[in-house]
Structure 1
Amino acid sequence: MSAAWLYPIILIAGALQAWGPPMNGALRKSLTNPWLASTVSFLPILALLIVLFLCMPRPLPTVEGVTTMRWWAPLGGLVGSFAVITGLLFVDKIGAGPFAGLTITANILMSLAVDHFGMFGIQQHSLNMWRVLGGALMTGGIVLIAMF
């Protein structure tokens, strides 16, 4: 079965991610305290996930799954929160375009490294000329966006 049907959903999710930093920046301005704003930003997510879990509690993890879990596996949310907090603090200083461009370009470049080395249990995809060119074009694009 082809995963092509997932692409529009992923594109919509990516487009919606551009809204997050400006929305969080406005929240920080309104609440003044960036840590309170971060907390308020995450509360609806936590509430949604609790409701979803209560509505669909299965499957539950197995003891083997929990005991063999890598130490870093539960830290993905913490890593993601860094991006949210960074946007909340800095998007209004550089603009949504440069912020998103820098974030996405850094994400692409790091993802190329994750793929190349097969980090975090991801299937290994070696760097090649086309992947390096894509990363270079992303980098060139963000330089243009940030400069102009």
Structure 2
Amino acid sequence: MNALWLFPLIVGAGVLQAAGNAMNGALRNALNNAWLASSVSFGLILFATVALFAIMPRPFPTAEGVSEMPWWAPLGGLTGAVAVVVGLMFVDKVGAGPFNGVLIAANICASLLIDNFGLLRMPPHALSAGRIVGGLLMAGGAACIALF
């Protein structure tokens, strides 16, 4: 299967994530409390996902799938929440460009290690010179955005 058609969707998600970080900063400023702002943000997410599940309840998980699930799999949302809360607290202090640049560069560098070592049950994708250069360029670009 050619997954090339997925990249416009991924680009759209990246644009939305950048906008979402700025929106979350405005939410925190308006509510004057990062924890309340996080609760409002995640409350809306919970409402939307429960509504979507009610509309599209299938497929249901299988007993086999649940029994084979690693203990840490449900923690993915919590790890993503850390980025949201950090964004709520600091995006307006450093700016959307530096915040997202550093966040994404750290994400890319960590992802390269996850891919290389096949961590978290991901299929391995070996580090190559091109991938290393790409990670370094991402980190360097984020540093330029943050410093200048």
TM-score, with structure 2 as normaliser? 0.97
Give the secondary structure class of the aligned counterpart of 1:127. Answer: coil
Note the 1:61-140 alignment, pairs <5 A: 61-140=61-140
Give the secondary structure class of the aligned counterpart of 1:113. Answer: helix
Q: What's the offset of the Cα at 1:12?
A: 0.6
Q: What's the offset of the Cα at 1:23?
A: 0.6
Q: Which amino acid aligns with 1:146?
A: A
| 1:2-38 Cα deviation digits (max 9, x unpaired) | 1111110110111111011111111111111110100
5+ residue gaps in structure 1? Answer: none
Tell me the residue number matched to 1:141.
141
Q: What's the offset of the Cα at 1:142?
A: 1.1
CA–CA distance in 1 between the matches of 2:144 and 2:51? Answer: 43
Identity %: 57
CA–CA distance in 2 between the matches of 1:76 and 1:56? Answer: 22
TM-score, with structure 1 as normaliser? 0.97
CA–CA distance in 1 between the matches of 2:23 and 2:113? Answer: 30
> Number of residue pairs matched?
148
5+ residue gaps in structure 2? Answer: none
Tell me the residue number matched to 1:10.
10
Considering fraction of residues, name the structure with more helix.
2
